[in-house]
């Protein structure tokens, strides 16, 4: 929770500081001075639903002129570092809860060059100037403290983005909604019901010993934050202006520097491409985590695509390094083939779920295959209970332990009985064979793992059925029917396939 380059109550001193928009961020030297206007702080609490990385930056109140350059800058604020860690992709949807308590603002006025600054006469001198003082200076800065909490939803296509934001709005969570306590209930309810994979991150700055709230209390915390005492103020935001706007300097003297800044930061600039490549790498990493969860190794094309993405990132890094050595260097346009391929999307086949037992009780369900895979759900444990009936009894109840990428839980189905010891499956282990005796009920249940361990319970009544998942398929969970006994069991399974690549809609 440290404040990277944010300082502690020294925001006013940052005014007029040099700023390297491309690589280094805030610099210690300045080429300008002037007067400043001191403004009071403000307090704000807001909620915003974002469908792009640029919207996310705006929701966190990162100035538009910095929303791309922070990707490579080293000396940035805590908030910029936080945004980097969210690992959002171009298709992510984020819910941002943002609160700030500003203690002061400073704005540059009557800006002028320092007396000992020599005006550049050519590109070489312009490069020396930019290397020492950056291409811009800090023209406004704000001090105080902030609280920001972000839910990042992993959607893969623009259609999924729109559907998710529509469902959020239907639940009463949308950009511009007034931050009130009842929004917490709406948000919590949505999170419980959504099948979209999501992560949660939050951070506080400006308070010496902060205590982060629980997720179910974040709206109340955000509403109360503006009244908190800011006892360790930080730089919450700043704006920069190019030196070419300073009297006597002019654009002509820094023409090559300004051209290179546009090369990196323009609408079609190199760092815009870097942002897209970062999103692609985050998407690849997400897919690889799913693959690792289920021990899937059949997508060599994704690894080749990742190699191309990294090669394209290296091309950009090479230009950034060249700029750091010589801010007036000639920078050719880059060819980045990985941006033409499209975005990799999770692909799988759901198996035909076998059914054992009768139809005499109410059903119990499992997640959809899509939801299970996206949330990296696996079987974690099984506990079998033997009930009445048959030779040696039937299965009276089954307790199934599940684990996802962020939680674990147990589901219980059936009535009662004498319980066997819980059978822990273990990370990276999966069922490969089942033997189920069944008729009107599940008489016997037997499960064998890929490491030769197995568990069983029940008698010898009913017909004997043996089932194995086809090669490449993994067992994800169970559905069935149960009441006083376990009437029926179905085995949910699926096989991952190599990712498909989809072009974003224009």
Q: Which of 229, 185, 186, 179 is nearest to 208 (CA)?
A: 229
What are the extents of the domains in the chain? 11-340, 348-502
Q: Which residues pair with 424 in a beta bridge?
A: 381
Q: Decide if 414 contacts 385 (C-beta within 8 A).
A: yes
Round to whole Å and give the CA distance between 447 and 449.
7
**For 395-401, which contacts have Cβ atoms below 8 Å and span 24 or more sequence positions?**
395/441, 395/442, 395/443, 395/444, 395/445, 395/457, 395/458, 395/485, 395/486, 396/484, 396/485, 396/486, 397/482, 397/485, 397/486, 398/445, 398/478, 398/482, 398/486, 398/489, 400/477, 400/478, 401/425
Round to whole Å and give the CA distance between 386 and 99.
55
For residue 422, CA distances in Å to 7, 213, 460, 496 come to 53, 35, 21, 29
Instruction: Decide yes or no: CATH 3.10.20.30 for domain 348-502.
Output: no
Tokens coding 323: 């700029």
506 residues of the chain, pLDDT tens digit each: 223 333 345 777 889 999 999 988 889 899 999 998 887 778 889 999 998 888 898 899 988 778 787 788 888 888 888 988 888 887 889 999 999 999 989 999 999 999 999 999 999 999 999 999 999 999 999 999 999 999 999 888 778 888 889 888 888 887 877 777 888 888 888 888 887 888 999 999 999 988 999 998 999 999 999 999 999 999 998 999 999 999 999 889 999 999 999 999 998 899 999 989 998 999 999 999 999 999 999 999 999 999 999 999 999 999 999 999 999 999 999 999 999 999 999 999 999 889 999 998 999 999 999 999 999 999 999 999 998 654 468 999 999 999 998 889 999 999 988 888 999 999 999 999 999 999 999 999 999 999 999 999 998 889 999 999 999 999 999 999 999 999 999 999 999 999 999 887 54
Q: In 3-state terms, what secondary structure has residue 448? A: strand
For residue 59, CA distances in Å to 44, 80, 99, 236, 291 come to 12, 12, 10, 13, 33
Q: Which of 72, 500, 87, 80 is nearest to 282 (CA)?
A: 87
Residue 315 neighbours by CB under 8 Å, 6+ apart: 334, 336
């Amino acid at each position: 929770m440290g404040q990277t380059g944010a300082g502690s109550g020294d925001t006013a001193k940052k005014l007029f500081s040099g700023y390297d928009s491309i690589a280094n961020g805030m610099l210690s030297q300045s080429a300008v001075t002037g007067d400043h206007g001191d403004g009071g702080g403000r307090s704000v609490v807001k909620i915003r639903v974002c469908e792009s990385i640029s919207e996310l930056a705006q929701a966190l109140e990162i100035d538009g002129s910095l929303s791309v350059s922070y990707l490579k800058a080293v000396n940035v604020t805590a908030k910029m570092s936080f945004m980097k860690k969210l690992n959002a992709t171009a298709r992510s949807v984020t819910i941002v809860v943002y609160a700030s308590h500003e203690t002061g603002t400073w704005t540059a006025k009557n800006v002028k060059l320092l007396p000992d600054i020599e005006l550049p006469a050519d590109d070489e001198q312009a490069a020396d100037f930019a290397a020492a003082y950056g291409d811009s200076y800090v023209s406004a800065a704000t001090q105080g403290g902030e609280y920001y909490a972000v839910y990042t939803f992993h959607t893969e296509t623009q259609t999924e983005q729109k559907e998710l934001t529509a469902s959020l709005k239907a639940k009463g969570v949308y950009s511009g909604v007034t931050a009130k306590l009842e929004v917490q209930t709406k948000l919590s309810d949505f999170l419980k019901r959504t099948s979209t994979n999501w992560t949660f991150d939050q951070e506080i700055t400006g308070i010496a010993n902060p205590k982060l709230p629980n997720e179910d209390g974040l709206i109340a915390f955000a509403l109360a934050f503006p009244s908190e005492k800011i006892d360790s103020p930080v730089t919450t935001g700043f704006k920069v202006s190019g030196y070419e706007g300073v009297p006597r300097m002019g654009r002509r003297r820094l023409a090559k520097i300004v051209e290179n800044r546009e090369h990196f930061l323009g609408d079609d600039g190199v760092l815009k491409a870097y942002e897209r490549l970062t999103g692609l790498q985050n998407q690849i990493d997400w897919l690889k985590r799913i693959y690792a969860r289920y021990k899937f190794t059949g997508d060599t094309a994704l690894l080749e695509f990742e190699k191309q993405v990294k090669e394209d990132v290296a091309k950009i890094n090479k230009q950034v390094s060249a700029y750091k050595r010589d801010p007036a260097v000639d920078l050719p346009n880059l060819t980045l083939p990985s941006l033409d391929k499209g975005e990799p999307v999770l692909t799988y086949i759901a198996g035909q779920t076998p059914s054992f037992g009768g139809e005499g009780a109410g059903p119990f369900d499992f997640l959809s295959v899509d939801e299970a895979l996206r949330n990296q759900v696996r079987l974690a444990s099984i506990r079998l209970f033997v009930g009445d009936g048959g030779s040696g009894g039937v299965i009276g109840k089954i307790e199934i332990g599940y684990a996802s990428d962020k939680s674990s839980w147990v589901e219980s189905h059936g009535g009662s009985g004498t319980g066997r010891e819980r059978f822990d499956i273990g990370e990276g282990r999966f069922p490969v064979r089942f033997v189920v005796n069944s008729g009107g009920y599940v008489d016997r249940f037997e499960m064998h793992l890929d490491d030769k361990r197995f568990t069983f319970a029940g008698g010898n009544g009913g017909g004997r059925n043996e089932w194995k998942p086809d090669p490449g398929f993994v067992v994800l969970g169970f559905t069935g029917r149960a009441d006083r006994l376990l009437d029926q069991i179905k085995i949910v399974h699926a096989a991952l396939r190599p990712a498909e690549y989809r072009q974003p809609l224009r």
